[in-house]
Amino acid sequence: MKKIRLGCIVASASLISSIPLNVNAEDIRQLNDITVQSTRLDESQYKTPAAISVVNEDDIQFGRQQLGLDESLIKVPGLFALNRYNAAQELRISIRGFGARSPFGIRGVKIFADGIPSTLADGSTPAVSDIDIGSARKIEVLRSPSSSLYGSSSGGVINVYTEDGPDEPFIEGRFSGGEFDFHKEQIKTGGQTGPLNYLVNFSHMQNGGYRDFSDTEKFLFNSKFRYDITQDSSLTVTASAIDAPEDKDPGAINAAAVKADPTQARQRNIDFDSGEEFDQQKLGLVYKYNIGNNHAFRLRNYYSWRNFSGRLPFSGSVAEGNGGQIDYQRFFFGGGADYTYSDNFFNHDNRLIVGFDVDKQDDDRKRFQNNTGVRGALTLDQNENVTSYGIFIHDEFQITDTLGLTAGVRYDVVNFDVKDHFFANAGGDETGDVTFHEWNPRVGILWSLNQGINLYANYTTSFETPGTADFANPNGGGLNPDLKPQTADNYEIGIKGLLPGSVSYDITVFHINVDDELVSFELPAQPDRKFFENAGKSTHDGIEAGFSFQPISIPGLKFTANYTYSDFTFDTFRTRGGDNFDGNTLPGIPKHQIYGEISYYAPGGMYTIFEVQHVGSLFANNSNSTKVDSYQVANLRVGYQGEFRNWEITPFLGVNNLFDESYNSNIRINAFGGRFFEPAPDRNFYAGITARMNFGQ
């Protein structure tokens, strides 16, 4: 109780101290409508017949520690993120339950940065650490399943947009440090020179971690160059590189170990030197060309190279091809094009978009025995090729001034081709391939009574193929012949709007029928390796509500809140082992989530942001035999924006887990031996300073 009272006093004192006695109405930060691009068309956030959330630059960058993308996504209803503090396992994000199954990285949710995919052709996103939070301008989250727009693994879509260079050049440095040997350095510059707009950002981050054996280090470079060829055409080039020489994995532990010492690592992970190292380079090109007001063309092309080496906490078997050390070289490339035609159709406004996407993934993968951290005998050597083709057409037709109809469809072909270079030489060729074909329609309607009341209804579908790693055969080598894509039908109705410049709201109710839901399991003989099976049918029912309010009487003050209700159950699920999980709740997703934030930006430059998140209880396994308790985590950020001639100086201080709550940053679903838990840090502090020089002022 003393810790709670102390935290409340600190938060209240910080907020009250920054509120001026006299304010000017001109200082009010008005809520504005936002243009979104996540439906592949530029349109108003409130005039789009879909559930879309937008996180702005202040929410992403302002005084945050910038450990992970999820720090700002906490504001998005319907989205649940875990695993901020284990870099080796990467961030796990789920939207309406899609992605909760992932043993590492992100599955079922598609990620883009400046129009270039981070999600591979097989539907997996192994890492988002190459997306630099320090230069992100906006994040859009399309919460509806959207394979009709984006193809496979689009249970939700996250689009990250980086900053443009300002009209006048600048250079900015940022340094932050905190507990657990955390420190991060960043330098950023940008500007406009004739037709060339540019932004270049470099950062280095090192973190010792709350738990033993969780050290991580990353060097990250991001850049964006836009050249305006003519008034109506431009070419944008993005280039990034990341080097992660150390990501240790402390592993998950059981409840008894958490109670004894939550900072401890699993001894087996230490013994086998569990973790990873990787480097990645990415180049993206986006060309835009507008012909008058009616025609618009967009072309994109990208290339990505990744070298990865990882160690799992087991030795592995040559006979089964499951060595505990992984090594692969990846080449991921592709592109696409779309054409938009906007004009009147029978005296009604109409916009038509047609396009295609091609994505290709080429992995040379090897596995070796892990002899307590030392590379042993080769157990697997294969080439994995995944090719995805998609073609789509969508149309927006304005029936009346207030009533609009959206409809579209997409056709996708995804091919997995595995060539075995190991068992073939030993006389047991495991080469194989499989191809999936999917049609995904979409239809929506929007009734806009005015800016403050916009009613919409949607029917969308999605499909999700197993990833290359998911195809591991529990009965031997080669591709698992029993796996099928997961498909879903999504029905949603919602209302959203912007009321007289100070209130915005968004409420959505959805019902999703999922067939062949992909779920993970472990075998007693291989307790640290995930296999997958289809779970029959499941139902996802939920409510998402978001709200923001800026009282006119106190300019600069803003209240933000959201609530998510998730009732996700297996309708029919008989496991390969004969267990009956019909009617059980899907693991890894809390039934209730609540987020609240109070922020205040004073005219004098002081700011205070206090946020709290309630995460309801959830199950850790399909059998629902292990229940994880609910928790509440509060964070506080304070800072000051000062200007001196052409300098902007912004010192800041942050407190994570203000009330020192005991909770888990990650739950490993269906882990063997009760090792579900990865404890999160207790109350911890960080501080930093940003200095920016504007050359043109």
Predicted confidence (pLDDT) at residue 7 exceeds the cutoff of 80: no
Looking only at the bridges linking them, the beta strands covering 106-107 and 110-113 are: unpaired
Q: Which residue has the higher pLDDT, 383 or 469?
A: 383
Q: How far apart are the first and last CA of the chain?
A: 51
Residue 231 burial class via C-beta count within 10 angstroms: exposed 0-12, middle 13-18, buried 19 and up = exposed
The two three-digit tokens of residue 342, written as one number: 């906007």
* Helix/strand/coil for 666: strand
Confidence of residue 672 (pLDDT cuts 50, 70, 90): confident
Q: How many residues does the chain have?
A: 697
CB 416 within 8 A of CB 386: yes
Beta bridge pairs of residue 337: 299, 356
Predicted confidence (pLDDT) at residue 28 exceeds the cutoff of 60: no
The two three-digit tokens of residue 137, written as one number: 């301008």
Beta bridge pairs of residue 162: 136
Task: Count CB neighbours of 319 within 10 A.
Answer: 12
CB 314 within 8 A of CB 675: no
Predicted confidence (pLDDT) at residue 12 exceeds the cutoff of 60: no
Q: Taking residues 513-529, what's their average pLDDT?
A: 79
Going from the N-terminus, what domains does the chain have, and what CATH number goes with each?
2-694 (2.40.170.20)
Confidence of residue 6 (pLDDT cuts 50, 70, 90): very low
Beta strand extents in 249-347 (DSSP E only): 275-291, 295-311, 325-345
Predicted confidence (pLDDT) at residue 25 exceeds the cutoff of 70: no
Percent of the chain with pLDDT over 90: 77
Q: Taking residues 237-247, what's their average pLDDT?
A: 97
* Helix/strand/coil for 99: coil
Where does residue 267 fall: left (phi above 0), alpha (psi -120 to 50 degrees), or beta otherwise?
alpha
- Among residues 235, 237, 162, 240, the alpha carbon closest in space to that of 195 is found at 235
- Mean confidence (pLDDT) of the chain: 91
Q: Taking residues 488-502, what's their average pLDDT?
A: 92
Predicted confidence (pLDDT) at residue 302 exceeds the cutoff of 50: yes
* Helix/strand/coil for 59: helix
Q: What share of the chain is helix, strand, coil (3-state, %, to 5)?
A: 5, 55, 35
- Spatial neighbors of 287 by CB under 8 A, at least 6 apart, are 233, 234, 235, 236, 297, 298, 299, 300
Confidence of residue 20 (pLDDT cuts 50, 70, 90): very low
Q: Which residue has the higher pLDDT, 648 or 468?
A: 648
Q: What's residue 248's pLDDT?
A: 97
CB 448 within 8 A of CB 497: no
Tens digit of each residue's pLDDT (9 = 90 or more) over 417-448? 999 888 765 556 778 899 999 999 999 999 99
Tens digit of each residue's pLDDT (9 = 90 or more) over 151-177? 998 899 999 999 999 999 999 999 999
- Among residues 504, 491, 516, 511, the alpha carbon closest in space to that of 546 is found at 504
Model confidence, pTM: 0.93
Give the range among 230-244, 247-261, 312-326 with minimum mean pLDDT: 312-326
Confidence of residue 607 (pLDDT cuts 50, 70, 90): very high
Tens digit of each residue's pLDDT (9 = 90 or more) over 118-158? 999 999 998 898 898 999 999 999 999 999 999 998 899 99
Cα separation, 589 vs 570, in Å, equals: 13
Tens digit of each residue's pLDDT (9 = 90 or more) over 185-240? 999 999 999 999 999 999 999 999 999 999 999 999 999 999 999 999 999 999 99
Tens digit of each residue's pLDDT (9 = 90 or more) over 350-403? 999 999 999 999 999 999 999 999 999 998 898 999 999 999 999 999 999 999
- With tokens 């008005």, the residue in question is 30
CB 363 within 8 A of CB 380: no
CB 389 within 8 A of CB 353: no
* Helix/strand/coil for 605: coil
Percent of the chain with pLDDT over 70: 93
Predicted confidence (pLDDT) at residue 473 exceeds the cutoff of 80: no
Tens digit of each residue's pLDDT (9 = 90 or more) over 558-590? 999 999 999 999 999 988 778 899 999 999 999
